[in-house]
Amino acid sequence: MIIPIASLEADTLHSIAESFVLREGTDYGEIEASFEEKVAQVVAQLHSGEVVLVFSELHETVDIRHRDAVTSGDESGEID
């Protein structure tokens, strides 16, 4: 189930993005970005709609996935 980000407080959204960055160890290219820059990039992707928050009822977890992966039914969508 996709969670609309407008339904969350800004602090909650920020905390979810922080957790995602810590958990994923996402590669941001040749230039190393600070933790806060990475979090800001994830939040920006959420606001742009490129990625979405997905709640798994089965696992009772929240994850961030590419919108295309979620709409195509692929549960393994990740942020590049």
Query: CB under 8 Å to 41, separation ≥6 — which residues?
Result: 28, 33
- Using 50, 70 and 90 to split pLDDT, how confident is the model at 25? low
What confidence tens digit (pLDDT) does each residue in 49-80 have? Answer: 999 999 999 999 999 999 998 876 554 444 43
CATH (residue range 2-71): 1.10.10.610
Domain boundaries, the chain: 2-71
